[in-house]
Chains A and B, each alone.
Chain A
Amino acid sequence: MLGMLSVIFLGGLSGCDRNAKGLIPEPSDAFPGVIEIGELEVVDGDTLNFFIDKQRGTLAHIMPNLDNETALLVGAADAAEAGIAEGYEFSACPELEEAVNGMTSAERLEWYTAHGTLDCGIFNSDPEADHNRDAKPYYYGQLGRSPELTQGGATFTFIGTGEDVCVIVDPETVFWSQSIAPANRVDQFAYPDHFDDDGDLDIFAGMSSYYTGSPGVEIGDFRGFYTDSKGEVVEIQYGECFQTGSSQGMTDAHSGRGTTEYCTIDTDQQEGVEFTVVLETFSVPLDDGVLSFGVTVMNERCPRVDTSECFIRTESLSSAGAPRACTDRLEAAQCAGQLGSFCCANPEMCGDEGNIENGLCEDIFEVDQAPATRDEWCGSTGLCCDEEGELEIESGAGGGGPGPGI
């Protein structure tokens, strides 16, 4: 009898995931835990608009899957075909128009990376040269889990402009806490999030001379030590990436999982000085053990930049590096405040539908503030995964405001 009980007890113990290791993704050979991205350009919004053929001065966004089929026309060629030149247009620079006319979005990015300028004067000074040291205008990447007891993450550099710059990173995908209030339910968050597809990266940044890590090998920090004249040692934080929380008295504030994180870095009197940005891995998605992300550096203060989910789009990538199906629509729904309706329409993109309030999805769809069916809502918003074609997302207000105007 005692022996049988012992067998049952030991069997139970060995079957339990007593230390929760089963929840930790396995390290992957294909996706290292520490990567070095290289140099990112401090880019302006109009450069990003050039890639996606949007009018200069409009709110920009980036995406990993640029169109590689549609030839984009500029200047006289565009006017001749469309009647009026639209999309991205150069300001009186026939040489640049001739150089990029007929390129697809993907080809424009490739051309820009090779030439590094959209400035007419700089381009004409040497049309064959690379004018920005091969710096990338933005980057999409993937990180695996780092081995035990080591810090994982990505690093890149940028060159100070002498002005404020904004570093923005968006880890996959979208996260929200479910609204479970018995009264005054918030429909946007009434459906649970799919927890396992979210990752989290934390930004740290400072002058490269203060960085203690080895790019691509080991993640470091920006801590230094000052020794006063009596020999007392004080730790100094040389990091310059102060986020909103830290300005309100919270040090080391960071965004949570699946949420854009950004900070303004003042490079005043540091024009030409190299800065290092560290994206520390805080959590890796549990579903595939790979953390996808998008990152860019804008030449503006962050409050003047769109820092919503709809700025860095479709950062959730498959193991092949391709955008995961329908994640662009999930982000668009988040920006538009339509997560509740989106999840009811596409339950495979969200959390456990067994945990939603009874009847939530029966009357949640609205079109023009009137009750609608799922199909009517899908047709109106384009936010259903089974819809054909590419989602048209209108850029929203800057500074983290709403995304698409749907």
Chain B
Amino acid sequence: MTKYLTLLSFFGLSFGGCAAFDEGILERDITGVVRIPLEALESLKLIDSDGTPIMEDGFTLDEEGNPVLNITGQMGLLGPVYLGGFPSVVDGDYAYPHPEMGPILDSDRPGDTYPYGGTTVGRFDYACYEQLRCKVVTGRYTDYQEILDFFSDVVQEPVLAPDGAEVTAGATYQEHCYTTEYVTSDDELSFVDGDPQEDVLPYFKPYFRLEGDFYVADVTIPHSLYVEDMELWGWVDMPSVRYAFASCNPEEGSSYYRYTEQFMEGSSYPDLLNYPGIYIDQGDWVAEPVTITDPDAEFTIDFIHPHED
């Protein structure tokens, strides 16, 4: 009997020891919601190569300038959202709230913000055609046809195949991707996702939904250093009037080489959260900072400051 009691005691002790152990890790997953006002899209303007407006006041325009298509449901107009955790966010350094910076070490650059962590809601992804480098963001499209329609009807620059022919069918686009990217399923490509609400907790897929006057997306900043009273801050890189994005460099990224086609596939800059002031430009929307006092509480961060150069 004594032997059994001793065994039971060891068993209980070992369980108790496991449950009480605190590893002391300072990094946390910080989860919340980003919100971008509807106005970010409604105020967006696009022009064609001649400078003629093709989109304004929330509608695409025909040749006579008449409104054609309401663009408030066109998520492709939302660029990547960059979100980081910083020691503090201050006014006065830029025309918008900006994280505090360390010393200036290079006369060509501002000081580093030394972020504690960060993530994006959507990122640039190479979408199988050279024309689409730095123009397609993950979490904005559910299928290939949606991309083709967006570039044809909203940006009004139809997607062209390497031979110059317009790509009009999603199936053609899909086959081109499978051929050139050496994949056999859509699951292997990040820029389309037929199941955007799939549960992948503790993270979220970078898809926005329209809720009232805001585009809303769930987000997790993974493995961020948590310091009490740290501030979350970021911006959404909105397209320029010619549908280009300041945070992406088409001459970087993986190299593409196939027959007569040779180019770089494009990539976002690696130091966006370190030097955000370099990349925020006309038309971007900057967040109102949020102070984090409890890493387990969900935050809501609003991108409500439009930046005008």
Q: Which residues of A contact B (CB under 8 A)?
A: 226, 228-232, 234, 236, 238, 268-269
Nearest-neighbour CB distance to chain B for A268, whole angstroms, equals 6
Residue of B103, B105, B107, B225 near A232 (CB, 8 A) is: B225
Q: Is the CB of B229 within 8 A of A230?
A: yes
Q: Is the CB of B227 within 8 A of A232?
A: yes
Q: Is the CB of A268 within 8 A of B107?
A: yes
B100 at the A interface (CB under 8 A): yes
Residue of chain A at shortest CB distance from B230 = A230
User: How many Å lie between the Cα of A236 and that of B102 in the bound state?
Assistant: 10
Residues of A within 8 A of B107 (CB): 268-269
Q: Which residues of B contact A (CB under 8 A)?
A: 87-88, 100, 102-103, 105, 107, 114, 116, 225, 227-230
Residues of A within 8 A of B227 (CB): 230-232
Nearest-neighbour CB distance to chain A for B4, whole angstroms, equals 52
Apart from the given pairs A229-B87, A231-B227, A232-B227, 18 other A-B contacts in the complex at a CB distance below 8 Å = A226-B102, A226-B114, A228-B87, A228-B100, A229-B100, A230-B87, A230-B88, A230-B228, A232-B87, A232-B114, A232-B116, A234-B102, A234-B114, A236-B102, A236-B103, A236-B105, A268-B107, A269-B107
Nearest-neighbour CB distance to chain A for B185, whole angstroms, equals 32
User: How many Å lie between the Cα of A157 and that of B230 in the bound state?
Assistant: 42
Residue of chain B at shortest CB distance from A238 = B105
Nearest-neighbour CB distance to chain A for B23, whole angstroms, equals 20
Q: Is the CB of A228 within 8 A of B114?
A: yes
Q: Is the CB of B88 within 8 A of A229?
A: yes
Q: Is the CB of B229 within 8 A of A226?
A: no
User: How many Å lie between the Cα of A231 and that of B225 in the bound state?
Assistant: 13
Residue of chain B at shortest CB distance from A249 = B270
Nearest-neighbour CB distance to chain A for B128, whole angstroms, equals 27
Residues of A within 8 A of B225 (CB): 232
User: How many Å lie between the Cα of A234 and that of B227 in the bound state?
Assistant: 14
Residues of A within 8 A of B102 (CB): 226, 228, 234, 236
Residue of chain B at shortest CB distance from A270 = B107
Q: What are some 25 contacts across the A-B interface (CB < 8 A)? A: A226-B102, A226-B103, A226-B114, A228-B87, A228-B100, A228-B102, A228-B114, A229-B100, A230-B227, A230-B228, A230-B229, A230-B230, A231-B227, A232-B87, A232-B114, A232-B116, A232-B225, A232-B227, A234-B102, A234-B114, A236-B102, A236-B103, A238-B105, A268-B107, A269-B107
User: How many Å lie between the Cα of A274 and that of B255 in the bound state?
Assistant: 43
Residues of A within 8 A of B87 (CB): 228-230, 232
Nearest-neighbour CB distance to chain B for A204, whole angstroms, equals 15
